[in-house]
Amino acid sequence: MENPFAPAPTALRVDDRNSSTPLTLSRGQTLVVVLEANVSTGYRWEAQTGFAPMLVQVGTADYSARAGSPAVGAPGEMTFRFRADAPGTTALEFTYRRPFEPNVAPAKTLRYDVTVR
């Protein structure tokens, strides 16, 4: 039984530099993945299925322009949030592609190896 008076675990924030580092989360902890993207070119990051039941995606990805770069075509960031839901190990994979080109290989791929305790 979980202690309802225990403080909520702190969110773990990662980006593309952490993709080769194994990640460990506690049940209930939030994983925030922030990836550089330029949606004005049609490219966007997509989380690939297969991370459940260890992780549950919370909402949809957010996009924000980089601070100080209001110009059209300037890069920004896509932010994904996942809740650690069940103990186990999973691969969390992302592809950077144009959704309207389903038969074209992704321009980039990232993988995070995640353990939930």
User: What's the pTM value of the predicted model, to 2 decimals?
Assistant: 0.86
Show the 3-state SS of the chain: CCCCCCCCCCCEEECHHHCCCCEEECCCCEEEEEEEECHHHCCEEEECCCCCCCEEECCCCEEEECCCCCCCCCCEEEEEEEEECCCEEEEEEEEEECCCCCCCCCCEEEEEEEEEC
Rounded to 5 degrees, what angle do the CA atoms 111, 106, 89 make?
20
The CATH code of domain 12-116 reads: 2.60.40.2020
CB 32 within 8 A of CB 62: no
Q: Over the stretch 76-112, which tens digit does the pLDDT of each residue have?
A: 999 999 999 999 999 999 999 999 999 999 999 999 9
Average pLDDT over residues 60-88: 86
Q: Over the stretch 3-56, which tens digit does the pLDDT of each residue have?
A: 666 666 789 999 999 998 899 999 999 999 999 999 889 999 999 999 999 999
**Model pLDDT, residue 93:** 97
Q: Which candidate, 68, 67, 91, 65, places its Cα nearest to that of 79?
A: 65
* Domain spans, the chain: 12-116
Residue 1 has pLDDT above 60, yes or no: no
